């Protein structure tokens, strides 16, 4: 069993993306159509837990600082605290979308009441400031995180996307298998910490 904890945004690097593998040859390939490049299933629990951790930590829609990930043979259990029920459900969606995950047990607790003590108010303000600071990422960090996120996504279903970023303005190039892959790639890019806008005009499907 692999356990990963402590999702502090500025201390987490994106997990290495799985190695791309060409799709099996088909009649369309012989006719000159470029084959889809898929991503390999995550090799082990360590890689899977790192992939899940990275995807949650770099998603701007989820406050993942208090989330813990347990992974055993493709079964992922997630514990910790999130501020809303929407974030709890979205965390589950992201985990299920990750290569290698076969089941998710979502044990996240929702803490959505206002702070009642001075210590709690200070903690909440520090968290808010930290989240704002996490929006300021270097282009190299954005590219690394987004490449990892896209490569591990079942819905995107390809490693053939080139990512570039200039001051947080991201460009996606390449080819995805279908409209679902296109829509998911654009969504995940827009939700990545530090991204200001996404240009997907050169992402074919």
Report which secondary-structure segment, H or E, holds 197: strand 197-204
pTM for the full model?
A: 0.77
- Checking if the pLDDT of 191 tops 80, the result is yes
- Checking if the pLDDT of 10 tops 70, the result is no
Report which secondary-structure segment, H or E, holds 133: helix 118-134
Structure tokens that stand for 203 in this block: 């992402």
Structure tokens that stand for 151 in this block: 């490569």
Split at pLDDT 50, 70, 90, the class of 101 is: very high
**Looking at residue 159, what is its pLDDT?**
87
The rounded distance, in Å, linking the Cα atoms of 114 and 182 is 38
The rounded distance, in Å, linking the Cα atoms of 37 and 39 is 7
SS3 (DSSP) at 60 = coil
For 60-88, write each residue's pLDDT tens digit. 999 998 899 999 999 999 999 998 999 99
Residue boundaries of the structural domains of the chain: 2-134, 139-204
Which residue spans within 59-190 are E strands per DSSP?
A: 67-72, 75-82, 103-110, 161-166, 169-175
- Asked if residues 135 and 193 have their Cβ atoms less than 8 Å apart, the reply is yes
φ/ψ of residue 54, rounded to 5: -65, -45
Determine which of 1-15, 41-55, 93-107, 136-150 has the lowest per-residue pLDDT on average.
Answer: 1-15
- Checking if the pLDDT of 168 tops 80, the result is yes
The rounded distance, in Å, linking the Cα atoms of 15 and 148 is 6
| Residue closest to 203 by CA, chosen among 168, 158, 166 | 158
φ/ψ of residue 33, rounded to 5: -80, 130
- Asked if residues 46 and 2 have their Cβ atoms less than 8 Å apart, the reply is yes
Q: Which CATH code fits 139-204?
A: 3.30.1340
- Asked if residues 106 and 134 have their Cβ atoms less than 8 Å apart, the reply is no
| Residue closest to 69 by CA, chosen among 112, 30, 107 | 107
């Amino acid at each position: 069993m692999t356990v990963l904890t402590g999702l502090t945004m500025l201390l987490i690097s994106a997990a290495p993306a799985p190695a791309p593998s060409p799709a099996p040859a088909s009649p369309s390939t012989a006719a000159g159509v470029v084959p889809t490049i898929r991503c390999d299933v995550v090799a082990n629990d360590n890689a899977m837990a790192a992939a899940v951790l990275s995807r949650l930590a770099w998603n701007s829609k989820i406050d993942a600082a208090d989330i813990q990930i347990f992974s055993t043979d493709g079964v992922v259990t997630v514990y910790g605290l999130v501020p809303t029920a929407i974030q709890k459900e979205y965390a589950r969606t992201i985990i299920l979308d990750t290569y290698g995950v076969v089941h998710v047990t979502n044990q996240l607790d929702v803490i959505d009441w206002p702070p009642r003590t001075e210590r709690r108010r200070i903690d909440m303000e520090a968290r808010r400031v930290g989240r704002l600071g996490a929006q300021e990422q270097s282009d190299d960090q954005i590219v690394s995180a987004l490449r990892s996120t896209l490569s591990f996504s079942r819905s995107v279903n390809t490693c053939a996307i080139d990512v570039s970023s200039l001051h947080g303005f991201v460009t996606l190039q390449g080819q995805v298998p279908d409209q679902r892959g296109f829509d998911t790639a654009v969504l995940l890019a827009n939700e990545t910490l530090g991204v200001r806008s996404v240009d997907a005009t050169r992402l074919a499907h």
